């Protein structure tokens, strides 16, 4: 989230698309209710199903799943055609005026540079025209035919209300109503917030869904302001934290990148990370990359990380592919190229697509280690549960070690919420039996392996032997010690560069925050964006001052938000080029003639003049990008792409299937179904009574939603002779499930490109262990394809068939 | 705050009292207690503007099951709204005692949820005490149809040995060009995005130092 949950109360319009906040984030949704009740805010929901959020909305419009880009580009087109643009914001704070190279273009659903063989674009023409000093050329009048604004205007012109209706199935009048209400937020005194979740990310074109809305929010002037923003409603309690801390194949901490084989040494790695400003006088904050990287390496390897060895650069793994993401790992597993797998609080048998392939992969492992407070289907993937898990136990040669862990009530530490608040919590209970903390378990594995390498030697032990492990009790580091390591400290006296006799931070003391980090090895810091979380003032994540001066919803004294306790990202954009708030009644930051003041921590230097430094300092341009250059694999603008399994063809290019650059493994090519065989458009979703596959272990939640069902329209039920509450079989090219039929009015057939499209909804909370009835999940059916930029599997748009059926073997009817 | 100080500031009988009848007052009960200070009594309720009759009732309220419990601030472990919760336990782990959860409710002082919980958060105690909580390391041998209990030492020694064996056999120290790539692709790990940042940092250090590249968390999904 760019903003906080508590900030939503400041909005005038909430658009929920690609999410279902009332159902999945109920206590955060209270701030929507608050905005409706006290500001007169309106709520719009655009979704294939009439969801629980839709049921409390002011306006609902249906949309066929997977077509959000067409809808949103349609809204952008509407705003441009009707002059509903916040011009001062768009001109000053976006790259609308930047001139693009002549080679760039778009036709037949594809951008220039497409190579069908490689399923990739040559992106070299997707860039600015540079001047002789290396700065991007601009035309502030926006008249140049090759400026971003005119290219965007042309690009979105195809998305007329008629075209939106044809692609999305949204009746034209409903689309126009939504577009009109949204366009009103181009006023500097009206803001809209976007609340989205996995309904946008879990597509092969997920990142472009989000970009389309971000672009809309930018031309309306809604980023960096109170009640505005792009608000990703994240799933697990610390999914934000684990992303921030870089527990991903392609990341290090704080969005530093894992090195690749093309970067053989530290200086080469740093060379592509200079982040020179692309406009004169702009702040390009990533120019500090080297300080953050060196301090991270010092946190990992301490004294073994030296200037001479590139700060231990050779200890870091170097990638030969963009990422060993989960789909790639299960593909490799199926080829017998993975021997061991550790699942810490993770249940891939229900979480990853094409369950048949997932179970086949696990069956080829030599060993599987699970760490969880609860039983999981993954730990028992080898156990036969009739139709619910029909495996040949004796033939599965995988050794499985199941480790019991503590749960939240027995643990201590911090979790980062969707709004980037790091909140500390304390233990309240004794763990059951011999359950142990994940920190203790990881420490035990590390210490045992380090001892074996010391004793026996083995493959490149250096990164392990030299790993910094300086804790009071190496067997069980304390959460506070680890938090301090994440914050970082001075390794030598840090002196003032202007006055070397003045010590800013004495050796051994915590740094105040990341502004004190250095690139000469004199500081260490586990994760730069978190720095400030635990400094000499103490554990800032444990702060509990809930005062909120002037009721802005900022709560600066409550816990700690990254970065630097900032609550709204890009908050400088809440004020105009003179530093005056766009909306005086919703002031966030204001320039007082010498410095920035207001309710938040400014995100540019406090004394940076409003005319000089633009708000988007993490971009080399200093402004936001309506045109994203070559930074995304599938285009500098979003463009309509169908799901890989779609009931209709792409109207812009009937030969094109799915995202043209998404990675497809050879073995999955034959696993895609067509609408002839699988005529119905399926989507997955969750219920407010359950959390993933955990709460089926709880008696209360298992009683509230006891069994697996699928949801379909009265029309489709009548067509197929399906009675409400009867058993049905739903199958795709990859698998088959049986479920109770929930026949509702909440799903209605849609008309897309002249064809009737029926939607089937499939919730995801059941498996074969726990207190609820045994059931299946949508992942038995979904395709094995990821998002083109980040490889998030698509669960939201795929094809199935359905027929009346009988109870699965072992189920109680 | 120490447990003793907390006990002094929030006497447990107040919890019962304000958890029921007076939840509609403007002040949250934490704020109220802070305002009135430690050891608030029925008479001081009168001084705060409550009627004498209400104060008299308050003085006779029977202590309910939350009396003499330990209160702990925690965070709901489900979605990333991250609602504040208060866990009530018999016993105090911070004093080294055995402690068992008897009740979990929303934290009224928390700015986001203001004391409310959803149907998942309201049933959290069932998660902590689910019959399917794991209590013992177990091992399932190749081809077997059952788990067998195993000691922590045996389980961890076995894991370290399996991992070292695979790492030594398949670790790619250098690529064809002789560049140090320190890459271990044959063992992968999924990290838990419901664990703490401090757990995550520990896990990160170990996995990346081992050279594990098939390393992701739920954010990938």
User: A455-513 pLDDT, tens per residue?
Assistant: 999 999 999 999 999 999 999 999 999 999 999 999 999 999 999 999 999 999 999 99
Q: Cβ distance A68 to A117 under 8 Å?
A: no
In sequence order, the 6+-apart residues with CB closer than 8 A to the CB of A157 are A77
A57 belongs to a structural domain: yes
**Domain stops at, among A232, A266, A284:** A232
| Delimiting residues of CATH 2.20.25.90 domain(s) in chain B | 3-128
Report yes or no on A672 lying in a domain.
yes
Is the Cα torsion angle A358, A363, A367, A373 positive or negative in sign? positive
Compute the Cα dihedral for A685, A689, A691, A696 and give only its sign.
negative
Q: How far is B35 from chain A (nearest CA, A)?
A: 14
Smallest Cβ–Cβ distance between A237 and the set B75, B156, B179 belongs to B75
Contacts of B127 in chain A (CB under 8 A): 374, 407, 694-695, 697-698
pLDDT at B55: 66
Residue B215 has pLDDT above 70, yes or no: yes
Is the predicted pLDDT of residue B63 greater than 90, yes or no? no
Token code pair at residue A258: 């894992």
| Number of continuous H segments (helices) and E segments (strands) in chain B | 8, 9
Picking from A24, A700, A792, the nearest residue to B126 by CB comes out as A700
Measure the CA–CA gap between A1 and A3, rounded to whole angstroms: 5
ipTM of the complex model: 0.98
A317 membership: H or E segment, kind and range: none
Q: Give CA–CA dist A278/B111, Å, rounded.
A: 40
Task: Say yes or no to pLDDT of A354 above 80.
Answer: yes
| Chain A stretch 204-263, residues whose beta carbon is closer than 8 A to a beta carbon of chain B | 233-249, 252-253, 258, 261
Number of structural domains, chain A? 2
CB contact at 8 A, B144 and B172: no
**Inter-chain touch B217–A243, beta carbons under 8 Å:** yes
Res A809: pLDDT: 86
> Is A734 a domain residue?
yes
Residue matched to tokens 């309201």: B122
Decide if A695 and B127 are in contact by the 8 Å CB cutoff. yes
From B159's Cα to the closest Cα of chain A, the distance in A is: 7
Residue A357, pLDDT score: 98
pLDDT of the residue at B61 = 67
What CATH number has the domain bearing residue A156?
A: 3.40.228.10
Work out the average pLDDT over B42-49: 47
Q: Looking at the domain B3-128, which fold is it?
A: N-terminal domain of TfIIb (2.20.25)
Q: Residue A244 domain-assigned? A: no
Residue matched to tokens 């045996």: B154
Residue A352 in any domain: the answer is no
pLDDT digits (tens, 9 = 90+) for A117-133: 999 999 999 999 999 99
Residue of A nearest to B100 (CA): A429
- pLDDT computed for residue A237 by the predictor: 95
Q: Which of A232, A265, A294 is the last residue of a domain?
A: A232
pTM of the predicted structure, to 2 decimals: 0.94
| Strand A755-757 to A750-752 pairing | antiparallel
Interface of A with B in 697-726 (CB under 8 A): 697-701, 704
Candidates A349, A407, A408, partner chain B, best to mutate (most B CBs within 10 A): A408
Check A351 against B198: CB less than 8 A apart.
no
* Interface residue of A204, A207, A234, A241 to substitute, partner B, most B CBs within 10 Å: A241
Structural contact between residues A68 and A18, judged by C-beta atoms closer than 8 angstroms: yes
Express each pLDDT in A711-736 by its tens digit. 999 999 999 999 999 999 999 999 99
What integer pLDDT is reported at residue B54 of this predicted model?
67
- What is the tens place of the pLDDT at every residue in A156-184? 999 999 999 999 999 999 999 999 999 99
Query: In the predicted model, is pLDDT for residue A300 greater than 50?
Result: yes
Would you state the pLDDT for residue A81?
Answer: 98
Q: What is the pLDDT of residues A373-420, one digit of tens each?
A: 999 999 999 999 999 999 999 999 999 999 999 999 999 999 999 999
pLDDT at A812: 53
For residues B34 and A641, the model is more confident at A641
A312 in any annotated domain: no
Helices (H), ranges, A133-251: 148-156, 161-168, 172-183, 198-201, 206-219, 239-244
The verdict on a CB contact (< 8 Å) between B196 and A446 is: no
Selected residue of A24, A297, A340, A422 to mutate for chain B interface (largest B Cβ count, 10 A): A340
Residues 518-577 of A with CB under 8 A from B: 526-527, 530, 544, 546, 548, 553, 555, 558
**For residue A31, what is the enclosing H or E element?**
helix A26-39
pLDDT in tens, A598-640: 999 999 999 999 999 999 999 999 999 999 999 999 999 999 9
Q: Which long-range contacts (CB under 8 A, 24 or more apart) does A382-386 make?
A: A382/B140, A382/B145, A383/B145, A384/B145, A385/A768, A385/A774, A385/A810, A386/A808, A386/A809, A386/A810
Are the beta carbons of A482 and B100 separated by less than 8 Å? no
Average pLDDT over residues B13-37: 36
In this predicted model, what pLDDT tens digit does every residue of A361-385 receive, in sequence order? 999 999 999 999 999 999 999 999 9
Mean pLDDT over A765-790 rounds to 97
Residues A245, B77: C-beta atoms closer than 8 Å: no
Backbone angles phi, psi at A130, to 5 degrees: -100, 150
CA distance A442 to B106: 32
Chain A contact set for B72 (CB, 8 A):
426-428
Structure tokens of A235? 């799933």
pLDDT of residue B42: 40
Is the per-residue pLDDT at B190 higher than 70? yes
Q: Flag whether pLDDT at A201 surpasses 60.
A: yes
User: Residue A760 belongs to a domain with what CATH number?
Assistant: 2.40.40.20
Task: Calculate mean pLDDT across residues A25-35.
Answer: 98
Q: Once rounded to an integer, what is the mean pLDDT over residues B111-132? A: 97
Tell me: pLDDT of A554 over 80.
yes
Query: How many residues in chain B?
Result: 221
Given this model, what pLDDT does residue B67 score? 80
The partner residue sitting opposite B81, judged by closest CB among A413, A416, A418, is A418
Give A740→chain B minimum CA distance, Å. 23
Could you tell me the maximum CA-CA distance found in chain A, to the nearest angstrom? 86
Write the residue in A28, A345, A423 that is nearest to B194 by C-beta.
A345
SS in 3 state form for A214-228? Answer: HHHHHHCCCCCCCCC
Q: Which pLDDT score, from 0 to 100, does residue B3 have?
A: 44
Residue B26 above 50 pLDDT?
no
Average pLDDT score over chain A? 97
Q: Over 70: is that where the pLDDT of A775 sits?
A: yes
Cβ of B201: how many Cβ atoms within 10 Å? 28
Distance CA B139, CA A215 (A): 52
User: Under 8 Å CB-to-CB from A26, ≥6 apart: which residues?
Assistant: A688, B81, B118, B119
Q: Which residues of A touch B152 (CB under 8 A)?
A: 434, 436, 444
CB A782 within 8 A of CB A734: yes
Q: For residue A691, give the nearest of B101, B120, B202 by CB distance.
A: B120
CA A449 to chain B, closest CA, distance in angstroms equals 5
pLDDT band of B32, cuts 50, 70, 90: very low
What would you report as the CA-atom Rg of chain B, rounded to the nearest whole angstrom? 25
Which chain A residues are closer than 8 Å to B150 by Cβ? 401
CA A86 to chain centre: 27
Tell which wins on pLDDT, A248 or B23: A248
Listed residue (A541, A428, A688, A376) closest to B121, CA to CA = A688
User: Residue A763 and residue A305: Cα distance in Å, rounded?
Assistant: 49
State the average pLDDT over residues A9-20.
Answer: 98
Q: Which residue, A207, A232, A257, sits at the end of a domain?
A: A232
Q: Which domain holds residue A698?
A: 666-804
CB < 8 Å to B34, chain A: none
**Residues of chain A found within 8 Å of residue B180, distances taken between Cβ atoms:** 314, 318
Q: Which residues make Cβ contacts (< 8 Å) with residue A584, sequence separation at least 6? A: none
In a domain, residue A334? The reply is no
**Chain A, window 410-429: residues with a beta carbon less than 8 angstroms from a chain B beta carbon:** 410-418, 421-423, 425-429
Interface probe with A: pick from B70, B117, B201, B213, most Cβ of A within 10 Å: B201
How confident is the model at residue B13, as a pLDDT? Answer: 32
Say if A550 falls within a structural domain: no
pLDDT over 70 for what percent of chain A? 100
**The pLDDT of residue A735:** 98
Touching check for A339 and chain B: CB below 8 Å? yes
pLDDT value at residue B68: 87
Q: Is the Cβ–Cβ distance between A400 and A368 less than 8 Å?
A: yes
- What is residue B66's predicted lDDT score, i.e. its pLDDT? 78
| pLDDT for position B51 | 65
């Amino acid at each position: 989230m760019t903003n906080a949950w508590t900030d939503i109360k400041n909005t005038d319009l909430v658009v929920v698309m690609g999410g279902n906040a009332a159902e999945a984030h109920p206590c955060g949704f209270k701030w929507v209710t608050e905005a409706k009740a006290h500001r007169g805010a309106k709520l719009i929901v655009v979704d294939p199903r009439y969801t629980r959020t839709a049921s409390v909305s002011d306006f609902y419009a249906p949309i066929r799943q997977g077509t959000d880009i067409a809808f949103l580009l349609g809204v952008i087109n509407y705003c441009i055609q009707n002059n509903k643009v916040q011009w001062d914001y768009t001109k000053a704070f976006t790259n609308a005026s930047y001139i693009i190279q002549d080679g760039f273009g778009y036709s037949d659903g594809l951008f220039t540079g497409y190579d069908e063989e490689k399923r990739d674009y040559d992106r070299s023409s997707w860039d600015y025209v540079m001047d002789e000093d290396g700065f991007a050329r601009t035309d502030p009048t926006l008249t140049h035919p090759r400026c971003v604004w005119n290219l965007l205007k042309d690009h979105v012109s195809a998305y007329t209300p008629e075209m939106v209706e044809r692609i999305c199935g949204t009746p034209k009048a409903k689309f126009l109503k939504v577009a009109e209400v949204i366009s009103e937020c181009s006023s500097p005194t009206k803001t809209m917030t976007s609340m989205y979740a996995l309904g946008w990310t879990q597509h092969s074109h997920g990142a472009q869904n989000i970009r389309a809305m971000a672009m809309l929010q930018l031309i309306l002037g809604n980023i960096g302001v109170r009640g505005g923003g792009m608000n990703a409603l994240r799933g697990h309690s610390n999914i934000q934290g684990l992303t921030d801390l870089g527990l991903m194949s392609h990341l290090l901490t704080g969005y530093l990148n894992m090195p690749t084989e093309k970067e053989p040494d530290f200086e080469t790695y740093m060379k592509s990370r200079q982040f020179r400003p692309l406009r004169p006088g702009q702040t390009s904050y990533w120019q500090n990359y080297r300080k953050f990287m060196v301090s991270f390496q010092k946190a990992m390897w301490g004294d073994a990380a030296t200037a001479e060895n590139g700060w231990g650069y050779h200890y870091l793994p170097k990638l030969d592919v963009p990422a060993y993401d989960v789909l790639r790992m299960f593909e490799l597993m199926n080829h017998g190229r993975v021997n061991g797998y550790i699942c810490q609080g993770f249940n891939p048998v229900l979480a990853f697509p094409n369950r048949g392939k997932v179970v086949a992969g696990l069956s080829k492992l030599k060993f599987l280690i699970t760490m969880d407070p609860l039983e999981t289907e993954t730990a028992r993937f080898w156990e036969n549960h009739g139709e619910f898990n029909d495996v040949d136990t004796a033939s599965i040669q995988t050794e499985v070690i199941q480790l019991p862990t503590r749960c939240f009530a027995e643990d201590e530490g911090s979790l980062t919420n969707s709004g980037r608040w790091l909140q500390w919590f304390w233990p309240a209970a004794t763990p059951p039996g011999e359950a142990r903390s994940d920190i203790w378990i990881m420490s035990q594995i590390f210490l045992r392996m380090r001892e074996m390498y010391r004793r026996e030697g083995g493959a490149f032990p250096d990164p392990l032997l030299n790993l910094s492990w300086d804790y009071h009790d190496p067997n069980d580091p304390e959460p506070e010690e680890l938090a301090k390591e994440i914050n970082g400290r001075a390794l030598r006296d840090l002196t003032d560069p202007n006055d070397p006799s003045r010590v800013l931070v004495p050796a051994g003391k915590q740094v105040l925050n990341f502004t004190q980090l250095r690139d000469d090895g004199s500081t260490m810091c586990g994760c730069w964006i978190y720095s400030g979380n635990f400094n000499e003032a103490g554990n800032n994540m444990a702060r509990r001052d809930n005062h909120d001066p002037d009721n802005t919803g900022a709560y600066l004294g409550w816990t700690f938000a990254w970065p630097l306790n900032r609550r709204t990202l890009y908050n400088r954009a809440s004020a105009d080029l003179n530093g005056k708030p766009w909306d005086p009644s919703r002031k966030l930051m204001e320039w007082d003639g010498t410095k920035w003041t207001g309710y938040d921590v400014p995100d540019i230097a406090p004394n940076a003049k409003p005319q000089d430094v633009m708000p988007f300092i993490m971009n080399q341009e200093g402004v936001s990008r309506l045109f994203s250059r070559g930074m995304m694999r599938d285009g500098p603008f979003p463009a309509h792409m169908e799901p890989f399994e779609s009931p209709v063809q792409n109207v812009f290019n009937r030969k094109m299937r799915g995202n043209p650059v998404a990675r497809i493994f050879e073995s999955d090519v034959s696993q895609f179904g067509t609408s002839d065989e699988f005529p119905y458009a399926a989507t997955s979703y969750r219920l407010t009574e359950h959390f993933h596959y955990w709460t089926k272990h709880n008696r209360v939640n298992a009683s509230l939603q006891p069994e697996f069902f699928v949801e379909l329209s009265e029309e489709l039920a009548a067509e197929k002779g399906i009675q409400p509450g009867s058993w049905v079989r739903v199958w795709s090219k990859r698998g088959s499930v049986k479920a109770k039929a929930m026949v509702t009015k909440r799903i209605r057939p849609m008309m897309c490109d002249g064809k009737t499209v029926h939607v089937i909804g499939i919730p995801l909370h059941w498996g074969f262990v726990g207190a609820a009835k045994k059931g299946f999940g949508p992942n038995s059916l979904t395709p094995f394809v990821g998002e083109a930029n980040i490889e998030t599997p698509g669960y939201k748009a795929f094809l199935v068939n359905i027929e009346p059926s009988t109870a699965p073997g072992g189920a109680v009817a | 705050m120490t447990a003793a100080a907390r006990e002094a500031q929030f006497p447990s009988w107040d919890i019962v009292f304000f958890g029921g009848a007076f939840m509609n007052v403007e002040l949250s009960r934490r704020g109220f207690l802070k305002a009135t200070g430690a050891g608030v009594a029925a008479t001081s309720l009168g001084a705060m503007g409550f009627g004498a009759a209400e104060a008299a009732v308050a003085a006779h309220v029977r202590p309910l099951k939350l009396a003499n419990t330990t209160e702990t601030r925690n965070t709901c472990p489900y979605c990333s709204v991250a609602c504040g919760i208060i866990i009530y336990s018999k016993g105090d782990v911070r004093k080294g005692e055995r402690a068992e959860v008897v009740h979990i409710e929303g934290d009224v002082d928390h700015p986001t949820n203001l004391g409310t919980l959803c149907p998942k958060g309201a049933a959290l105690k069932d998660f902590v005490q689910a019959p399917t909580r794991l209590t013992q390391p177990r091992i399932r041998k190749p081809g077997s149809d059952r788990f067998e209990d195993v000691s922590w030492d045996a389980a961890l020694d076995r894991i370290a040995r399996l991992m070292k064996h695979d790492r030594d056999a398949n670790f790619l120290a250098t690529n064809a060009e002789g560049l140090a790539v320190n890459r271990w692709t044959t063992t992968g790990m999924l990290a838990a995005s419901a664990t703490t940042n401090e757990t995550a940092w520990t896990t990160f250090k170990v996995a990346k130092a081992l050279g594990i590249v098939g390393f992701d968390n739920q954010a990938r999904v």
